[in-house]
Amino acid sequence: MPGREGRPVGNVTAERVWPWISTVARLGLAAVFLTAGGLKIGDLAASGRAVYAYRLMPFETARTVGAVQPFLEIALGLLLLAGLAVRLSAGVAAVLLVVFIGGIVSAWARGLRIDCGCFSAGGDLGAGQAPTYGWEILRDVGFLILAGILLWRPVTRFSVDGALMGPPSPPPSPSPARLPAKGRQR
Amino acid sequence: MTSASKARERRAQARRIVEEQKARERRRRVTLWSTIGVVIVLVAAGIVGYSVMTGQQKSNANKLVTPSVAVDDGTAFAIGSGPVVIDLYEDFMCPVCHEFENASGATLQQLVAEKKVTLRYHPVAILNESSNGTEYSTRSAGAVAAAAMAGKFLAYHDVLYANQPQEGSDGLSDAKLIQLGASVGLTGSSFADAINNKTYDAWADKVTETFAQRGYTGTPTVVVAGKQVTGATGGYPGPSDLTAAVAKAAG
């Protein structure tokens, strides 16, 4: 990755710890998307209704978005689980999360009373139930932070990326006295 | 430093640079192909999702049997013949619908008896995820369609609420649905067959879709003369809210 060179020697510990933090973030985010998609994929019509409940698009469009979304979420979850093109996968996850947060904020701002449909087919909210937008946004922001960690530090353990890339090459600047940066990327 | 050692140093450095370039080239290739891989996986997932959806819609359309007694584009069962139309959207798994029925059922029937209103019951299925995969919402909506075909919509509707299963349980079994039908006089084999064969289940999905398409998201949804009515503090309307809305709609 660019921008790595010239890190002070005192950061060697950080260099060793970050891949593990990123690995936890990657697997956590994978679990989030696999769960979210898995809970919706069994009832695509309900997922479409949940999207339409946001009143942001026509019914037919919402139905298609609602049907495609759980498949995308599961695919993204699998990509993160495998660790393929982690920075790109995390970027896609971040874009999705920003869209979801935007949707919830707009539903809140317009005074809609809906279930966000984040981890369920959602849509409906019983007459006695109050919406929990604040908590839903907070939760999605937490997931966004996980994606942010991966965008910033995409090098993780147990990833396809690591297996394909092999050990990182020394930085381009010719300085023979440099310590070998061993095992950063596996 | 001797000139020989200088030359060695230079050769070593040249080798390093070549290796670095090779490694960079390899990483560039891996990044390119893994990016392409991710894009392909995501696009493929989208295409799969889309085709699964259209497949399900087609299969539902093929299975659709609309009960001939249904009104409002075949999505509701009418009770009464008064001038003001009240549309009721309810899910048999919805506990709040049960509360609404307990609170306002008698008032609604009173309004019917006074020939002030026509009730149109839309049995929607939005709580299928609350019956452990048995799809009680769909099954009960299909069953009530079979009851309506035998002319016993309201009696069966009421007995389903009186025996409402706990939200999140398996719901009532098909056998129990048939048995409850018998308790209100639905003893014909066509009623039991319709439940066992899931004759009207695709229709229940259509009712639900119409409900969503009209912009409603929760149950119970009560619409008097085209206008959604809620209680004073939101939530479902009480008896006085209903009579007031009906009086206003009647002019």
Tens digits of residue pLDDT in B49-94: 999 999 999 999 999 999 999 999 999 999 999 999 999 999 999 9
- Picking from A57-71, A155-169, B152-166, which range would have the lowest pLDDT averaged per residue? A155-169
- The pLDDT mean for chain A works out to 83
Dihedral sign (CA A163, A92, A133, B232):
negative
Q: Does A185 touch chain B (CB under 8 A)?
A: no
Q: In angstroms, rounded to a whole number, what is the distance separating the alpha carbons of residues B243 and B217?
A: 24
Give the pLDDT mean for B224-250: 91
* pLDDT confidence tier of residue A120, bands split at 50, 70 and 90: low
Is residue A181 pLDDT above 60, yes or no? no
Q: For residue A154, is it within any domain?
A: yes
DSSP summary character for residue B80: -
- pLDDT-derived band at A92 (thresholds 50, 70, 90) equals very high
* Lowest mean per-residue pLDDT among A72-81, A138-147, B146-155, B225-234: B225-234
Interface contact A44-B56, CB threshold 8 A: yes
A11 domain-assigned: no
pLDDT of residue A44: 93
pLDDT at position A109 over 90: yes
Confirm or reject contact between A43 and chain B (CB < 8 A).
yes
Residue A3 covered by a domain: no
pLDDT digits (tens, 9 = 90+) for B136-180: 999 999 999 999 999 999 999 999 999 999 999 999 999 999 999
Q: The domain containing residue A100 runs over which residues? A: 16-162
Residue A3's pLDDT is 46
CA distance A34 to A73: 6
Q: What is the pLDDT of residue A185?
A: 46
- Strand order across the B117-123 sheet: B77-79, B117-123, B84-90, B221-224, B227-228
Mean of pLDDT values over A162-174 = 62
pLDDT band for position A15 (cuts 50, 70, 90): confident
DSSP output for chain A: -TT-TT--GGGHHHHHHHHHHHHHHHHHHHHHHHHHHHHHTT-HHHHHHHHHTT-SS-HHHHHHHHHHHHHHHHHHHHHHHHTSSHHHHHHHHHHHHHHHHHHHHHHHHTT---B--SSSS-B---TTPPP-HHHHHHHHHHHHHHHHHHHH----SS-HHHHHH-SPPPPSS--TTPPP-TTS--
Segments making up each domain of chain B, as ranges: 1-63, 77-250
pLDDT at A31: 97
Nearest to B20 among A53, A78, A170 (CB): A170
Residue A112's pLDDT is what? 84
What pLDDT digit, counting tens, does each position of B88-130 carry?
999 999 999 999 999 999 999 999 999 999 999 999 999 998 8
SS3 string of B13-71?
A: HHHHHHHHHHHHHHHHHHHHHHHHHHHHHHHHHHHHHHHHHHHHHHHHHHHCCCCCCCE
**What pairing do the DSSP bridges indicate for beta strands B117-123 and B84-90?**
parallel
pLDDT of residue A165: 82
Q: Is residue A168 part of a domain?
A: no
A41, B10 in Cβ contact below 8 A? no
pLDDT at A123: 53
Average pLDDT over residues A30-51: 94
3-class SS of residue B105 = helix
Q: Which amino acid is at A144?
A: L
Question: Has residue B44 got a pLDDT over 80?
Answer: yes
Is A125 inside any structural domain? yes
Query: Cα separation of B22 and B25, whole Å?
Result: 5
Tell me the CATH number of domain B77-250, given options 3.40.50.970, 3.40.30.10, 1.10.1660.10, 3.40.190.10.
Answer: 3.40.30.10
Q: How many CB atoms lie within 10 A of CB A185?
A: 21
Specify the DSSP class assigned to residue B234. Answer: B
Number of domains in chain A: 1
pLDDT (mean) for A66-81: 97
Residue A84 belongs to some domain of the structure: yes
CA of residue B187 relative to chain centroid, distance: 29
Please check the confidence at residue A8 and state whether its pLDDT lies above 60: no
Secondary structure (3-state) at B188: coil
Q: Which residues contact A65 (CB under 8 A, 6 or more apart)?
A: A48, A51, A57
* A39 found inside a domain: yes
- Using a CB-CB cut-off of 8 Å, the residues of chain A touching B27 are 165, 169
Torsion from C-alpha of A131, B222, B137, A34, nearest 10 degrees? -30
Contacts of B16 in chain A (CB under 8 A): 170, 174
pLDDT for res B126: 92
Whether residue B217 and residue A89 make contact (CB cut-off 8 A), yes or no, is no
Is the residue at A173 inside a domain?
no
Do B77 and B69 touch, CB atoms closer than 8 A?
Answer: yes
- Quickly list H helices, B114-200: 136-149, 153-162, 174-183, 189-196
Indicate if the pLDDT at residue A168 is higher than 70: no
For the stretch B189-223, pLDDT in tens is: 999 999 999 999 999 999 999 999 998 988 899 99
Please give the pLDDT value at position A125.
57
Report in angstroms the alpha-carbon separations of A107 from A20, A97, A171, B48: 37, 15, 48, 29
What is the per-residue pLDDT for B232? 81
Q: What is the pTM of this model?
A: 0.83
- Give the Cα-Cα-Cα angle B22, B41, B49 (nearest 5 degrees): 175
Rounded Cα distance, B65 and B202, in Å: 7
- B181 pLDDT more than 80: yes
pLDDT at A146: 97
pLDDT above 60 (res B22):
yes
Decide if pLDDT at A129 tops 70.
no
Q: Do B129 and A46 touch (CB under 8 A)?
A: yes
Q: What whole-number distance in Å separates Cα of residue B46 and Cα of residue A164? A: 26
B20: nearest CA partner in chain A: A169
